Structure 1
Amino acid sequence: MPKVEESSLRKLHPTQLTVGMIVVKDKAAHLAALPPAEQREFMQRHAMPAVLGPGGRLYITDHHHLGRAALDAGLATAFFRIDGDLSDCGLDDFWKRMEKNHWVHPLDENGVRHYCTRIPGQLDRLVDDVYRSIAGYVRDAGGYDKVPEAFAEFVWADYFRRTIAVEFVRDDFRAAVAQAMQLAKGHHARTLPGFNGN
């Protein structure tokens, strides 16, 4: 099992462009309410999977919401474990291998794909995608199961993006989540990762 290590949050580089800021705010409030010792224990229990990249930089491949929330809550460090070492690669080859391993997901807040080089270098520069928040809320409510496949939440976010108007999401987030819960049970969702029909 990979060793869990500690790093400054500022040294952890994202592998995606977006987070759901509603989910981030919830997580940040949870972290901020914990005493420092419990914050540290929580972060240690939720170590971020990471890949060692060119120049020895650390690229996290999951838990972007937690990383951004920890920054917003004023934490200085987080814990990570190395799942891959691509430090011998040049930058172009690094991103190609990251894509081959499904360790990167460069979709913007509109679901549009970009070059990996557009991914920001810091967690606090990730942008808001409201459909990522909907996907997170639906998963947490049991609308679909958490699965080991990389970036399954993006697939659900895109499914909801195609069906629920963004104006509705912004006007009444809770009602949009309720609609998304119904959509998660539907016929069209059956091929999505983690579908459970509940």
Structure 2
Amino acid sequence: MPSAHPQLVSVKLEKLHPTQITVGKEEVALKRREWEKLSKKARTTALSQHWFPAISGPGGLHYIVDHHHFGLALIEEEVKLVSLLVLKDLSFIEPAHFWTVMDHHQWVHPYDANGLRCNFDAIPRRLEQLQDDPYRSLAGELRRAGGYAKDVTPFSEFLWADFFRSRITREMLEQHFTKAMAKAMKLAGSQDARYLPGWTGVIAS
């Protein structure tokens, strides 16, 4: 019988499967810079204390449901082994139903770099194949700058990325990032953003 309790396992990082299509490559670069500042001992400690939340899927494959940016950064830093916290064992489910169950639990985000929902088969099989979504990088930078609060809502940063996608041009984002950040900060406190997780604006009376 599948275990009902989370389990810790050690796996090869290159064997992990993503549950989303995109990442913010600037976010990945930031995590690489943070990693490079750590001593060898500090890196060992960081890895021993970090668990990638994952689901066991058909064929014994492991699908991580968070920390894709850190995982990709570690791959680029040539880290080989990581620890997984297996949240649920779905290895017994028929492959044809696996992604439907994942979607029901909000463990998958099948949206591309344009914010459009795709078929589940568009999800890459390797972390290295994740697409770049610069709006996801903007959302991450804005959160660190205090534009909104960290929230436990699944894929909350992607909701913010989609909010900015229709309000900030890609040209501004890629060529005038400081201006894009200033505009994003203003938008983040607006009433239009009040439905988003972590919103810290003021409700209009």
TM-score normalised to structure 2 length: 0.92
Please, which of 23, 29, 33 is the counterpart of residue 25 of structure 1? 29
Give the distance between the partners of 2:24 and 2:130, measured in 1 at CA.
9
Give the distance between the partners of 1:161 and 1:56, measured in 2 at CA.
37
1:114 aligns with 2:118: yes
Which residue of structure 2 aligns with residue 144 of structure 1?
Answer: 148
Please, which of 67, 71, 81 is the counterpart of residue 71 of structure 2? 67
Give the distance between the partners of 1:118 and 1:109, measured in 2 at CA.
12
Which residue of structure 1 aligns with residue 137 of structure 2?
Answer: 133
* 1:1-198 alignment runs, 5 A limit: 2-197=6-201
Higher gyration radius (CA): 2
Give the distance between the partners of 2:66 and 2:46, measured in 1 at CA.
16
| Deviation at residue 120 of structure 1 after TM alignment | 0.7
> Once the two structures are aligned, what percentage of the paired residues are identical?
42
Of stretches 168-177 and 98-107 in structure 1, the one that deviates more from structure 2 is 168-177
**Which segments of 5 or more consecutive residues in structure 1 lack a partner in the other structure?**
none
TM-score normalised to structure 1 length: 0.95
| Deviation at residue 36 of structure 1 after TM alignment | 2.8
Alignment length (residue pairs): 198
**Which segments of 5 or more consecutive residues in structure 2 lack a partner in the other structure?**
none
Give the distance between the partners of 1:99 and 1:79, measured in 2 at CA.
24
Letter in 1 for 2:186: Q
Give the distance between the partners of 1:44 and 1:178, measured in 2 at CA.
38
